[in-house]
Amino acid sequence: MLHLRDNGVRTIFGYQGSSVSHLIDSLHKIKELMYVQNNHEQASAFSANAYSQISGGLGVALSCSGPGATNLVTGIANAYFDSIPCVFITGQVGLAGIKSHPLIRQHGFQETNIVSIVKPITKFAVTIMNPEEIRFNLEKALYLAQEGRPGSVLIDIPHDVQTADINPQTLSNFFASADYKNLATCYDDIDYKIVNEIYQLLTNAKRPVLLLGGGSSHLKGTGLIERFISKCHIPVVASLKGLDIFSHHHECYSGFIGAYGNRYANFCVACSDVLLVLGSRLDTMQTGPDIKQFARNSKIIRVDIDIHELKRIDRNKFDIHCDVSMFMEKMVKNAGKDQFFAKQWLQLIDTWKRKYPSGIQENSGYVNPNEIISALDDYLTENAIICCDVGLNQMYVAQSIRLNGKRSLLSSGGHGAMGYSLPAAIGAYFVSMDRQIISIVGDGGIQINSQELHTIVKEKIPVKIIIMNNSSLGMIRSYQEKALEGRTYGSVDGFSSPDYHKIADAYGLRYFKIASMSDFKDNAFELATIEPCIFEVLLDPHPQINPGPAYKRPVEDQFPLIDREEYQQIMNLI
């Protein structure tokens, strides 16, 4: 525990159990460490994810063996896929209770081989079979969680190993070992000739675009992107995980890309002739199912810390294997006093922004979810933290939220885990207790970790919970209506919600029903109060999203389809 403290950890999330009780007891002996008990281990894992993302350091969650350990798995996967440095510590049965033969299903009570379960979704996972191995493996785990492309690690500690007496100073040191030397990250040496060639490509391009992915999150607050854009005024677009890096109020910000992205942002990428991609793996939600149709006539330059991601797509003009910050430092230095301004290109994109806004257009008599999200801008503090869940609520946020480069947007990206938002808000709070925190969640996602409402009340966390209630699993329903002839098993038939007003009363939370924009405006001042509360936003029970993916079409040709002649005229730019 002292080692975690010395690595900057101040809060650890978890749930008590007999096989981990000694570790939790040890926490209370270190005054700099705080232990926060959630009401489910999955929530502890998500809280640790968010804690890491907001702090810029390690997130830590712990649980007991067996069901406690397996309940962490979703959060472990989330950290792995979204490159979040998290340490997961599980208790284990005593050494004598660990099964000795692979064909034995279980020996000790609540014994589970959690290491074998999580190996595919961790950078490192180990059971400590000897107390003398703890220092080496803990140092290795903390190093690997943060080294190169960050991710999740797991340390599994048997009950009797936890209680053993050790002298940390006499134990093996990972950093003095051959393992450490062999694990040292090697990146390509970025030759200034290559950097200059890339800069010249951007300078000479008619329609250059910069795409920010989640791997460029470390650029936030460094000023590197802003300095680069001040030299070369080119459009900046973002993936879901790159949305909060660059100010949406900047004239060069050109939107959110992908299947549910802003239509104008997708046109921007589709028509580009040079696309500089910083830290994005270009998954199918961004590119569409056919990568050959994505930015199809563009020279694609990818910068990524993960060489395997670079090798996955063979579409590039340049593959730069390095840390994005290192690359941008050289790009900014290379720019010097030279400047270029893609003025006509930016003016065209501005025309598209006005012509193709995101959001439901027709008046259904219900609250327009994009309008609600857009209106939040007037009530968010300069450094607010917005946590969204997975589903249509996440896409409404991505399409319409206004971020300024200081606000943070947390969501489950690659894993797409419902139930993320509420525990993420808890994790974020314990990093920055003075920042406004908003949790936006659907009526499906809120029910997956609704027990965390008690954690919020117990810990007096002033999070504002906005439930986007469309009486269904909206994203799934939308797909079923298009692809399954309207059969909505599970998303509507078999799905229901409790009375959220009564839920709020049960937990002692204030509740506000939002059935119109005037309801929202009348109660929006509550977003600035210091008490937790729930806003239930009543949406159309036949959820729509505009724009959204169109079956078997390039990602920029979104539903509802625009006039075919109009679309072709835009594509003629390519």
- Per-residue pLDDT reduced to its tens digit, 438-480: 999 999 999 999 999 999 999 999 999 999 999 999 999 988 9
- Per-residue pLDDT reduced to its tens digit, 219-252: 999 999 999 999 889 999 999 999 999 999 999 9
* C-beta of residue 28 within 8 angstroms of C-beta of residue 53: no
Residue with tokens 């500089």: 276
- Per-residue pLDDT reduced to its tens digit, 83-95: 999 999 999 999 9
Q: What is the pLDDT of residue 337?
A: 64
pLDDT bin (cut points 50, 70, 90) of residue 175 is very high
* C-beta of residue 96 within 8 angstroms of C-beta of residue 162: no
Q: Are strands 340-341 and 299-304 parallel, antiparallel or unpaired?
A: unpaired
Q: What is the pLDDT of residue 445?
A: 98
Q: What is the pLDDT of residue 160?
A: 93
pLDDT bin (cut points 50, 70, 90) of residue 216 is very high
Q: Which amino acid is at 357?
A: P
The mean of the pLDDT values for the chain is 94
pLDDT cut 90: percent of the chain above it: 86
The pTM (predicted TM-score) of the whole model is 0.96
The mean per-residue pLDDT over the stretch 13-20 comes to 96
pLDDT bin (cut points 50, 70, 90) of residue 107 is very high
The mean per-residue pLDDT over the stretch 472-496 comes to 93
* C-beta of residue 4 within 8 angstroms of C-beta of residue 135: no
Residue 51's Cβ-count burial label (10 Å; 0-12, 13-18, 19+) is buried
Q: What is the pLDDT of residue 124?
A: 98
Domains of the chain as residue ranges with CATH: 2-183 (3.40.50.970), 192-355 (3.40.50.1220), 369-538 (3.40.50.970)
Higher pLDDT, 316 or 514: 514
The answer, yes or no, to whether residue 80 has pLDDT greater than 90, is yes
Q: State the DSSP code for 558.
A: P
Name the token pair of 220: 């936030």
pLDDT bin (cut points 50, 70, 90) of residue 334 is confident
Q: What is the pLDDT of residue 187?
A: 62
* C-beta of residue 100 within 8 angstroms of C-beta of residue 107: yes
